[in-house]
């Protein structure tokens, strides 16, 4: 239903201009190459950039040739510019007299090879690539009478320092989280995976913003078809700007009209590394700490990275708890409605009497109570997220005292309804990655239970289950390893087996390279025959 409404809305919009806006597009036709005349080329750049106030053009003499530096103030490393570029060009060139210096190709090539003590230097002929270099935190070096310019990458701008991620805090495990700067994020990943097989492929998305996007995977583990598919879908994105990975997510997900996410996100480098090692593909986006991972399975939402760091007994226990919480938060209000309005006989007598006594004199029917309290809870939660921290306390006081306690004592809602709402709300925080879907399911189930009791609830449950089973994320069934069933993967599903018992990569994703450990066996005392690496696991 929503699909066709969306389509209708989309069709009313004018067709967007599909051509990619690269910086070269701003260059007048026929003048897309350097002319070799320094003044003209500089004028050209100045014009194209609209004589921007942060544009800096520094002209100087390189021995006896006029040259110019072009850069944008504030995004480049001025220290390095001074020491390694300007000084080298203006002072050192006068002292060196290397044999090759005076001969060779163009001046630009000679400067690049002999003078600049900067790692990332590229030669550029087209105005477009020069502009790209300048705008991508670099310096352009132009020479009088030369058709080749140099672009030097010297980024240095204010970034947030690496801190603990707010959304995924852990008790045990690495506390670093991604930041907004892409290359810092990539460095964090590189530090975790020191393998030549780690592939980082750069793409640019956003016709105006030209946002750097990096597709990361481990060659030999990731399914090349999935990597191809990711790149293909990224290339298809035609959008002015990409400010957060959420923009990309909506373009590359499999089920855009589903309430369930089919693309995962995380801001923890260790989680991304683990995902890559299982054969997934990660998509880094410049400007956001949230990294997307595909394929994304439903059961990933109940798996925390901490599960793999703490001992397997407690990990398994907490996983089961998270599944319980997921069921509670989606079904508890509906169960309350179905039981209290339709089938109270399933309650034990004392509980029924307690519930009946608290329902006495409550003006709303059970479904009304639960819906009203549910909406109030969501409003409070949303307010708590948006408000500045000092005001947040006021919200919680209003929520806890006024809406909870006072509403019950005034007889507006019954105490069980408040308990149900509170439990539902708390449980919804246990599985944060499905929180959007949870709210929809919760309200749908509640309304269906309000109309037809348990029949409605189970009808809704069946619909959701059918929908989940129909979803796929990059060719991987969303409910795997449950449906289709994969016995080996169950070790890391509801439970988390010890690492020495999980020698196999998850089959549904990492089947290309099914073993992640050699023959593994539990640790044994020295001299024990189990140490002889005889047996593997199944």
Cα angle 154, 155, 161; round to 5: 145
d(C-alpha 245, C-alpha 251), whole Å:
10
Closest separation in Å from C-beta 3 to other proteins? 7
- Closest CB to other proteins among 1 and 29? 1
Closest separation in Å from C-beta 448 to other proteins? 8
Beta 198-205 vs 121-124: how paired, if at all?
unpaired
Residue of 342, 377, 474, 478 that binds other proteins (CB under 8 A): 342
Is 333 near other proteins (CB under 8 A)? no
Query: Interacting stretch for other proteins, rule CB under 8 A, among 243-251, 259-267, 343-351, 520-528?
Result: 343-351
**Residue 101: which H helix or E strand, with range?**
none
Residue of 450, 477, 481, 504 that binds other proteins (CB under 8 A): 450
Assess whether the previous peptide bond of 481 is cis (omega < 30° from 0).
yes
- Closest CB to other proteins among 109 and 463? 463
Is 319 near other proteins (CB under 8 A)? no
d(C-alpha 408, C-alpha 357), whole Å:
13
Is 210 near other proteins (CB under 8 A)? no
HSE-up (13 A, CA, CB side) for residue 334: 28
Closest C-alpha to 494, from 320, 321, 324: 320
Closest separation in Å from C-beta 1 to other proteins? 5
Is 446 near other proteins (CB under 8 A)? no
Looking only at residues 362 through 391 of this chain, which bind other proteins when binding is defined by CB under 8 A? 362, 365-366
Q: Is 96 exposed, middle or buried (0-12, 13-18, 19+ CB in 10 A)?
A: exposed
d(C-alpha 146, C-alpha 465), whole Å:
67
Residue of 22, 354, 486, 521 that binds other proteins (CB under 8 A): 354
Is 458 near other proteins (CB under 8 A)? no
Is 453 near other proteins (CB under 8 A)? yes
- Output the DSSP codes for 431-466: SGGGHHHHHHHHHHHHHHHHHHHHHHHHHHHHHHHH
Closest separation in Å from C-beta 408 to other proteins? 14
Closest separation in Å from C-beta 194 to other proteins? 51
Beta bridge partners, 56, equal 71
Query: Interacting stretch for other proteins, rule CB under 8 A, among 202-210, 276-284, 334-342, 512-520?
Result: 334-342
Closest separation in Å from C-beta 8 to other proteins? 9
**Whole-number Cα distances in Å, 191 to 168, 218, 290:** 20, 14, 18
Closest separation in Å from C-beta 192 to other proteins? 46
Q: Which residues bind other proteins (CB under 8 A)?
A: 1, 3-4, 7, 340-342, 344-345, 349, 352-357, 359-362, 365-366, 448, 450-453, 455-456, 459
């Amino acid at each position: 239903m929503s699909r066709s409404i969306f389509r209708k809305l989309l069709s009313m919009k004018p067709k967007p201009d599909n051509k990619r806006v690269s910086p070269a597009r701003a260059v007048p036709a026929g003048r897309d190459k350097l002319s070799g005349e320094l003044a003209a080329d500089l004028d050209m750049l100045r014009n194209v950039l609209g004589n921007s106030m942060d544009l800096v053009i520094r002209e100087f003499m390189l021995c006896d040739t006029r040259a110019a530096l072009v850069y944008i103030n504030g995004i480049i490393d001025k220290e390095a510019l001074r020491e390694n570029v300007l000084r080298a060009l203006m002072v050192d060139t006068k002292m060196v007299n290397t044999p090759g210096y005076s001969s060779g190709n163009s001046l630009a090539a000679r400067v690049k090879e002999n003078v600049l003590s900067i790692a990332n230097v590229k030669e550029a002929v087209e105005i477009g690539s020069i502009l790209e270099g300048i705008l991508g935190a670099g310096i352009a070096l132009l020479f009088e009478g030369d058709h080749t310019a140099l672009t030097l990458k010297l980024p240095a701008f204010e970034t947030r320092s690496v801190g603990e991620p707010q959304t995924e805090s852990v008790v045990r495990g690495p506390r670093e989280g991604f930041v907004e700067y892409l290359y810092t994020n990539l460095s964090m990943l590189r530090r975790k995976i020191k393998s030549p097989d780690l592939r980082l492929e750069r793409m640019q998305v956003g016709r105006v913003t030209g946002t750097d996007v990096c597709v990361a995977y481990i060659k030999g583990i990731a399914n090349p078809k999935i990597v191809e598919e990711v790149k293909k879908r990224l290339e298809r994105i035609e959008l002015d700007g990409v400010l957060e990975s959420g923009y990309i997510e909506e373009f590359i997900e499999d089920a855009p009209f589903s309430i369930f996410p089919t693309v995962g996100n995380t801001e923890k480098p260790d989680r991304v590394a683990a995902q890559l090692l299982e054969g997934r593909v990660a998509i880094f986006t410049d400007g956001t700490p949230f990294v997307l991972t595909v394929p994304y399975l439903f059961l990933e939402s109940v798996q925390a990275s901490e599960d793999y760091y703490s001992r397997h007994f407690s990990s398994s226990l907490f996983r089961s708890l998270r599944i319980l919480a997921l069921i509670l938060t989606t079904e508890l209000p509906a169960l309350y409605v179905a039981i209290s309005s339709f089938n109270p006989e399933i309650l034990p007598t004392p509980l029924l009497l307690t519930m009946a006594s608290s329902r006495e004199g409550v003006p709303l029917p059970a479904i009304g109570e639960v819906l009203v309290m549910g909406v109030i809870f969501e409003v409070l939660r949303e307010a708590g997220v948006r408000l500045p921290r000092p005001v947040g306390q006021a919200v919680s006081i209003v929520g806890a005292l006024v809406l909870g306690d006072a509403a019950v004592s005034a007889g507006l809602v019954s105490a069980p309804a408040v308990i149900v709402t509170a439990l539902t709300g708390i449980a919804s925080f246990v599985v944060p990655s499905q929180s959007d879907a949870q709210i929809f399911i919760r309200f749908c189930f509640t309304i269906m239970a309000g109309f037809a009791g348990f029949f409605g609830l189970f009808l809704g449950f069946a619909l959701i289950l059918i929908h989940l089973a129909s979803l796929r994320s990059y060719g991987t069934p969303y409910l795997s390893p449950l449906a289709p069933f994969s016995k080996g993967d169950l070790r890391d599903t509801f439970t988390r087996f010890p690492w020495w018992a999980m020698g196999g990569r998850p089959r549904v994703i990492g089947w290309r390279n099914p073993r992640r450990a050699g023959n593994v066996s539990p640790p044994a005392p020295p001299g024990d025959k189990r140490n002889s690496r005889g047996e593997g696991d199944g």
